[in-house]
Amino acid sequence: MNNYFCTNSGRDCNCPPQPPCPPQQQCPPPCPPQQQNCQSCNEPVPQHNCCCPCGEDFRRALDLICCPQLQGLVDTATFAFVTDNYILGTPIGAAPDGTAPSDNLTAPAATFVCGGDNCESLTVSGTLYPATPDGAALATLVSQVALCRLGAIAFDATETGDGATANFQTISQFLGQRLRPKKPQECTTIAEALTGAAAVRASTVTVGPLVVQNSAIIGRVGDVLVMANSTDNRFYFICANKVDFMG
């Protein structure tokens, strides 16, 4: 019986060389600091990972509407959080018709807490519904929503103060000044196609069960589109990587 002494290299004996370890695909969720300068929030360079393409961009977009300049203008009790299978805050209603800005959300009523988010989720509350038209509410208590599962967020301008229409216009102007479209590259992404210099400023997009029709595109935060619906005084943050159809 032969006794072999093998070194780590496998070159000093008759042992067969060991194959190299295959590369591991890991997607650790990065947690960079979230402090934003709300006076000059020009779009930062997004740092994406393979598992969560829009999570960090959703947080940056929400940081914008939590700026002191918009305090009291965003109704934090009229949010909707859309995933592939569920919606927090409202059931899905009938598909929009006509040509006016609209969507298929019944009445967003989830609550979002500014500053209450952690690395991977947002602090929210509301009623959970299946992603089917007029689906029955689920008897489930919800306090967090996972950022990496989100396809879209919707919220309304508050009706207090100068009224919803005036507040909607103020929010639109604030976001429009801070979200500058980038020049499209040779290979144009969905986000670049919808927000580039030559893009149509109103568009229809679908993401999961949500349909947003003929609504203005204000700009984007990384791969999150920022859209505005003047009919309902409503805004949308939409993950471009989860858009199914657009027109």
pLDDT band at 123 (very low <50, low <70, confident <90, very high): very high
pLDDT at 9 over 50: no
Query: Does any domain span residue 38?
Result: no
Query: Does any domain span residue 33?
Result: no
pLDDT digits (tens, 9 = 90+) for 32-76: 444 444 444 444 444 445 578 899 999 999 999 999 999 899 999
Distance CA 81, CA 83 (A): 7
Average pLDDT, the chain: 81
Q: Which one, of 118, 121, 154, 150, lies nearest residue 235 by Cα?
A: 154
Query: Does any domain span residue 18?
Result: no
Residue type, 98: G
Q: How many domains is the chain partitioned into structurally? A: 1
Check residue 197 and give its pLDDT.
52
Query: Does any domain span residue 28?
Result: no
Question: E-strand spans in the chain?
Answer: 74-82, 86-88, 102-103, 111-112, 121-125, 128-130, 144-146, 152-157, 202-207, 210-221, 224-229, 234-239, 245-246
Query: Does any domain span residue 173?
Result: yes
Give the structural domain span for 99: 55-239
Query: Does any domain span residue 46?
Result: no
Query: Does any domain span residue 47?
Result: no
Query: Does any domain span residue 93?
Result: yes
pLDDT digits (tens, 9 = 90+) for 145-203: 999 999 999 999 999 888 999 999 999 999 988 886 544 455 567 676 666 654 447 89
What one-character-per-residue DSSP string does 155-167 give?
EEE-SSTT-HHHH
